[in-house]
Structure 1
Amino acid sequence: MTKTLSCLLRGMIGLAIVLICYLAAVFLLPYFKTGGTQAHGKQEVTLYLRSNGVHTDIVVPVRSADYDWAIVFPGRHTRNGQTERWLAIGWGDKNFYLNTPTWADLTVKTAIKAVFGLSSSAVHVTYYADMKDCNRCAELTVSREQYRSLIRYIRASLQWSKGHTVWIPTDSVYGQNDAFYEAVGHYHLLNTCNTWANRALKVMGVDAAVWTVSEQGIFLHYPLMQPVMR
């Protein structure tokens, strides 16, 4: 019995140490910045970081000299069947995306799967006509070389079949202008939707947190735009 209690105590102490280290990383590492020090040519491509307060999307121009995202994410996959000028792209836990439209819908099963990487992932895209009224957005401008690095990163995050993305037909879309696609990788405590977005910034060589699981860690390094007042 004494040996069992000793093992249990050591296990609890070990778990507490791991938890403390994780929380320290969560709260401290976002304040340390990486990237943004190397010149990559003329800055001419405007992008946005868009947040709903929890999750961060990378917003790209739908069509440019370097890429046409409407080919990758056809407008016909949305309810209104249309494309727009801007496209917000985010990565996350597939089960969470499809089964938790609001926090009130979150279940213990869904949370456990997301935390421990027990579900597959998905990419969520949303078309926007403009970004003027976004109340939690940051603007950044990158070179075409940097933007091409982002394109490769996003493409590598997607599953492909015969040269096409794998669309997820579902009624769990959030509106008339969005769609879901099968992705690669697993969401877990160390790799969240915001970690994915922060890694996208690193890939481009622009300012980014050393590591973050939260959207606050990203926006520490990017000032929020002021939405247009009407």
Structure 2
Amino acid sequence: MLKVDGVVAGYQTGSRVLDGFSMHIKPGEIVALLGRNGMGKTTFLKALMGHVQVAQGSVNLDGESIKGLRPYEVARRGVGYVPQGREIFPDFTVEENLMMGLLGRPDLPKQIPDWAFEIFPILDERRKQRGGSMSGGQQQQLAIVRALVGKPKLLLLDEPSEGIQPNIVQEIGHVLSRISREQGLTVLLVEQNMELVLGMAQRCLFMENGVIVHETQDVQGLRTNPEPIHRYLSV
């Protein structure tokens, strides 16, 4: 599905926020990318989406390079992105925000599918409400569905629990886990909320200084042996 090898990237010419970053994700897998603030997690997601230029290395999706593509081209290849802070359009209604998720996919009908309002029923109730007047949790649900209406095969989530009440975080985790299981959606989750990670992820990658430094496939084992969490996440 996704194979990244030796990626170097940063925000200024010559900077190396990502310093030889390598990872892979299998189809249908949910992987959590963990690390302290400033280690390069968000930079990596932005590099995948084409918002940050990749100076060195390779980025392949289903065997084809997406390195150097513009964000809309990456989206057309099947990558959905829910950025940190959600970035919905506050003056647009729920329906109008969801329509924006279809603009980058000329191969899809320009009509919001009925299932989009079934994922989080509150969005059906608030179709005509402006996004900016909704709660943080509802805005996050809207941002997730906006990404899903583009029918991605890989979904990137950057801190989806940030500023959201626990019951909505739990609902988001359950819903995305179900969609991944039933539809084969691949998910890369950048997150600090370990309850969400432990409830969703099948594998955890720990990041320091622009590279992966530890991996665990026994995600539930982190409950009884949290040493990697203390080592790579604690301040």
**When the two structures are superposed, what TM-score results if normalisation uses the length of structure 1?**
0.22
Larger radius of gyration: 1
**When the two structures are superposed, what TM-score results if normalisation uses the length of structure 2?**
0.21
